[in-house]
Structure 1
Amino acid sequence: MKAVLRGAFTLFQRADTYLNFLEQVARHYYPRPVFWVQGNASYHKDADVRDWFAANRSWWKVFNLPPYCPEFNATERLWHHTRVTGTHNRYLADDGELNATLTRVFRSMQRRPDQIRGYLQPFA
């Protein structure tokens, strides 16, 4: 995605933060068609989220991955990289340290698009 989405980093994803994220993406892409692939997190199935998708179904198509199939979810490879390079076997004293660690890992990933492309290649 070319768009840079701004906002506070949230440690816990909930339906309201997911809807906020969807709104940011929608503002950038509307009225162009969006094909959205999502996993099976509980907030993906929230009534408000389902209502939002229904209200935007003319241009926003949603595809849900099968449950318990991380091999179909490209994001899992990126999360694995994040855990290995950022959080695995490390003591993080507080939320601030976790936030700083994740920011460092994500910025490092931004500077290496070929590495990210390699993780995602099997899904292309």
Structure 2
Amino acid sequence: MTPPTTRTWSRRGHTPVIRVRGRSRRRLSVAALLCYKAGEPSRLVYRPCPDARPDGRKSFSWKDYRDLIQNAHHQLGGPIVLVWDNLNTHLTAGMRRYIADRDWLTVFQLPPYAPDLNPVETIWSILRRTSLANRAFANPDDLVTTVRKGLRQLQYRHDVLDGCLTGTGLRTPP
């Protein structure tokens, strides 16, 4: 809920101030897959996960990632080669069993501490610098709405998605 800051303009001697009513321990987790298929525009598949869940969990479980991958498989209609970072949830026994049972899913792990090789990290950076910058959120629902709107706008910017993939070397420029 704490807003990221970016550059802004104001009259000389009057520093812009963003008022935040109070600190909140609420948060929002978002998982995303940046996908491409030869001859088709790049796609962004995402799923937000607010921390107000019935089971009390505040982040994604391996089952949530499983559902996201399954959803992407249905949307893309073909086999998936997944390049993943080393998040502990990605490495659980349940996730390894799920991957082993799917012949349409191939997974490669990124080396540890290599965010520059993960194109989704660039998506988060763009989102923080555009939709979320210099904005104080009134409540967690406002944050969720803003993140969804920002990601939806990015879904239609295929040039930006291609740039994120090209920047990591996973795709060559068209």
Q: Give the superposition deviation at 1:3.
A: 7.8
Q: Which letter does structure 1 place at the counterpart of 2:162? A: R
**What does residue 69 of structure 2 align with?**
22
Structure 1 residue matching 2:112: 3-state secondary structure: coil
- Contact (CA 8 Å) 1:3, 1:28: kept in 2 or not? no
RMSD, aligned CA: 2.6
**What does residue 65 of structure 1 align with?**
110
Q: Give the superposition deviation at 1:60.
A: 1.6
**What does residue 87 of structure 2 align with?**
41
**What does residue 136 of structure 2 align with?**
91
Q: Where does the alignment leave 5 or more consecutive residues of structure 1 unmatched?
A: none
Cα distance change, pair 35–4 in 1 and its aligned pair in 2 (3 A): closer
Tell me if 1:121 matches 2:166. yes
**What does residue 9 of structure 1 align with?**
48
Q: Give the superposition deviation at 1:28.
A: 4.7
Cα distance change, pair 120–29 in 1 and its aligned pair in 2 (3 A): closer
Q: Where does the alignment leave 5 or more consecutive residues of structure 2 unmatched?
A: 1-34, 36-41, 51-58
State how far apart, in whole Å, the 2-side matches of 1:101 and 1:117 are.
23
State how far apart, in whole Å, the 1-side matches of 2:70 and 2:157 are.
28
Q: Give the superposition deviation at 1:89.
A: 4.2
Cα distance change, pair 35–77 in 1 and its aligned pair in 2 (3 A): same
State how far apart, in whole Å, the 1-side matches of 2:44 and 2:74 are.
12
Structure 2 residue matching 1:62: 3-state secondary structure: strand
**What does residue 99 of structure 2 align with?**
53
Q: Choose 1 or 2 for highest CA Rg.
A: 2
TM-score scaled to structure 2, two decimals? 0.59
- Contact (CA 8 Å) 1:86, 1:102: kept in 2 or not? yes
Tell me if 1:104 matches 2:143. no
Cα distance change, pair 84–25 in 1 and its aligned pair in 2 (3 A): same
Choose between structure 1 and 2: higher helix proportion.
Answer: 1
Could you list the per-position Cα deviations for residues 30-76 of structure 1 after superposition, in whole angstroms to 9, with x for gaps in the alignment? Answer: 7x4321111112210121111101111x3321101111101111111
Cα distance change, pair 101–113 in 1 and its aligned pair in 2 (3 A): same
State how far apart, in whole Å, the 1-side matches of 2:87 and 2:118 are.
12
